[in-house]
Structure 1
């Protein structure tokens, strides 16, 4: 019997003259290794169109028959032979994509035949391994990314985020953030992305701050009130940094997000203004005042005192707080003419000098505290840069 099988395996050659139907009888006697070789040859012949037209349907039936072969090696040989082909039979590939992981892997990762809708279906009814493989698929389409973000586990979504070729939309990133903001590994993967929407980055920063404030080690070292204050200061600084990095159409979106969250406070706005993030500041004032952004820019850049005062009053700023914003705006006009850097240092220092002796209510005190922190932070950064330059020159 063994001798007969070897002889049969040697005769299997999927050229144009072979009788494909004989394959079905031969598989009952052939070894799994021989069947795997024959499956590969059959698939290659089918793809190369070397079979006569009348035998094409028979070859398809033979490959369909192999889907039920008890040996994984046979099905894997078929999957590897068909996986990368553009004209491979879709129905057979779909069946292989739901087979054992080692069989499904080359099909899910490489097959150009699988449609986006096929992948979405596989995400919905497949196993965790299936979803993980789809998450790693190169150039994964946006619809499949959205489906995986909706129902995938932390591990599966992490694989998706690590797939830099995946077409992940801002909406999908927001959904991932909504579902997994408590997971530190997911948060880090999101925050490392350059295409993360600014509003999502802001939300994650706040989540990180809350998690830090409630950490057991922090609670044992400092009081809850101090922890909350530290986290709040750090969050304000982070938000201001995010505000300076956004551009174009992302600016109005982030401004509106912060307004809804109640984050466009006078302290935050003075931080943004004194930091020189003027595009964001103008959009924020436009949002709060209801004036067109172009008109706001014009008033901030060249408007007279009464126009600036009316603008800021329309946002709800009055009294000494209003005076701080008026002075800061004028200082930035002068800073724009400076032939050297250091505008942030100059503006913040002069504001502190002018208003530090004014009787401050709670609102003004909060503004001056923010300006002073910004001033100190800028001094420290300048000192670090100076030290770095000295070391570089010495080297």
Structure 2
């Protein structure tokens, strides 16, 4: 009878009074002792309030019940799809919303709804994955800044693919220790593309030279990433680079000369189809003809494979004698052997040009280290 009287009263009550009554009814439902019939009547009254024309009334109801696991689920689902100032309590606080509910809200809702989901105290991996697929910049910034958000490696990569050109998102991704290597490579490519697209840079050094510098810097960054990642991440990075056409002879030579042996071996395994144990054995101890056959099975042309064979033998020798300066030793000795040959043109010439640049860069780095030690 009390609830029936409430429903008759609410039809003529002012907005402020209705809001206070809605809040009181919600608190009474959760905190007061009621019979089963009384609880059912109270739930019907709260359901009726969902149609109140004033958002103040619906907000007052949401504030009263959204936090509780004992609230009627149908009310929470309805409030979660209300306008943002009403929905915020249900979406951000309610423990009744399942992963499926939140994924559905993210897919059907607007940016404000997705922002509320990203700001929940705890965001599960399936919900983060949904946001990674459909979220805009602000929503994903909120997700990445949320310490309570569990985000899978695949979702981080998807964010890097979609919005890695946004500086703030890129910085947040790069600050994460769990960012997979292939996502880091994507971010380096976004930075490279941004550099090439700068009109000032194009005017200062020319588009062709800028593209070359960008390509070389990206390649160097990937080699650096390849040397720092955990062994379990290497196959995924190799696959990612192959699918994006980045396992070029120039890049592979850079990795080999730099001593990124685990990565280089994984790349040859991927390209040749040979087993990892066999590839590592040939690279470490195989004779010249076996090494050459391995490289040609990976798709390297014969004139290029000869240089790779020599680089492999030089790498073995340098690693035994002076492991701290492998890059400079290999580059210098490769150039001595191949630079003045008649065949040093076309693809071979380009490969040797890259080797020479690596050697020069290593010499400059060594000079910096020497100067720093001398000044200390």
Structure 1 partner of 2:360: 376
Residues 128 and 265 (structure 1 numbering): CA distance in 2 closer, same or farther, change over 3 Å?
closer
How far off is 1:231 after superposition? Answer: 1.6
Structure 1 partner of 2:192: 209
Kept in 1, the 8 Å contact 2:265–2:280? The answer is: yes
Q: Which moved more, 1:29-38 or 1:199-208?
A: 29-38
Residues 387 and 139 (structure 1 numbering): CA distance in 2 closer, same or farther, change over 3 Å?
farther
Structure 2 partner of 1:141: 124
Considering only aligned residues, what root-mean-square deviation do their CA atoms show, in Å? 3.3
Structure 2 partner of 1:94: 77
Residues 309 and 94 (structure 1 numbering): CA distance in 2 closer, same or farther, change over 3 Å?
same
Is 2:95 the partner of 1:112?
Answer: yes
Structure 2 partner of 1:6: none
Residues 108 and 380 (structure 1 numbering): CA distance in 2 closer, same or farther, change over 3 Å?
farther
Structure 2 partner of 1:3: none
For 1:121 and 1:317, locate their aligned partners in 2 and report how far apart those are by CA, in whole Å. 49
What TM-score, normalized to structure 1?
Answer: 0.80
How far off is 1:134 after superposition? Answer: 1.8
Q: Which moved more, 1:94-103 or 1:330-339?
A: 330-339
5 Å matches for 1:265-276?
265-276=248-259
Structure 1: stretches of 5+ with no match in the other structure: 1-17
Kept in 1, the 8 Å contact 2:132–2:159? The answer is: yes
For 1:66 and 1:327, locate their aligned partners in 2 and report how far apart those are by CA, in whole Å. 80
Structure 2 partner of 1:294: 277
For 1:112 and 1:30, locate their aligned partners in 2 and report how far apart those are by CA, in whole Å. 32
For 1:169 and 1:42, locate their aligned partners in 2 and report how far apart those are by CA, in whole Å. 41
For 2:120 and 2:361, locate their aligned partners in 1 and report how far apart those are by CA, in whole Å. 44
Structure 2 partner of 1:327: 310
5 Å matches for 1:1-395?
19-27=2-10, 32=15, 35-48=18-31, 50-180=33-163, 183-317=166-300, 321-337=304-320, 341-359=324-342, 360-385=344-369
Q: How many residues align?
A: 375
For 1:274 and 1:48, locate their aligned partners in 2 and report how far apart those are by CA, in whole Å. 71
Q: Which moved more, 1:348-357 or 1:82-91?
A: 348-357
Residues 302 and 340 (structure 1 numbering): CA distance in 2 closer, same or farther, change over 3 Å?
closer
How far off is 1:234 after superposition? Answer: 1.3
How far off is 1:194 after superposition? Answer: 4.2
Residues 37 and 219 (structure 1 numbering): CA distance in 2 closer, same or farther, change over 3 Å?
same
For 2:274 and 2:172, locate their aligned partners in 1 and report how far apart those are by CA, in whole Å. 38
Kept in 1, the 8 Å contact 2:102–2:127? The answer is: yes
Q: Which moved more, 1:178-187 or 1:133-142?
A: 178-187
Q: Which moved more, 1:354-363 or 1:27-36?
A: 27-36
User: Secondary structure of the residue that 1:341 maps to in structure 2?
Assistant: helix
Residues 163 and 53 (structure 1 numbering): CA distance in 2 closer, same or farther, change over 3 Å?
same
What TM-score, normalized to structure 2?
Answer: 0.84
Residues 138 and 370 (structure 1 numbering): CA distance in 2 closer, same or farther, change over 3 Å?
farther
Structure 2: stretches of 5+ with no match in the other structure: none
Q: Which moved more, 1:199-208 or 1:127-136?
A: 199-208
For 2:370 and 2:121, locate their aligned partners in 1 and report how far apart those are by CA, in whole Å. 45
How far off is 1:272 after superposition? Answer: 0.4
For 1:175 and 1:40, locate their aligned partners in 2 and report how far apart those are by CA, in whole Å. 42
Kept in 1, the 8 Å contact 2:296–2:302? The answer is: no
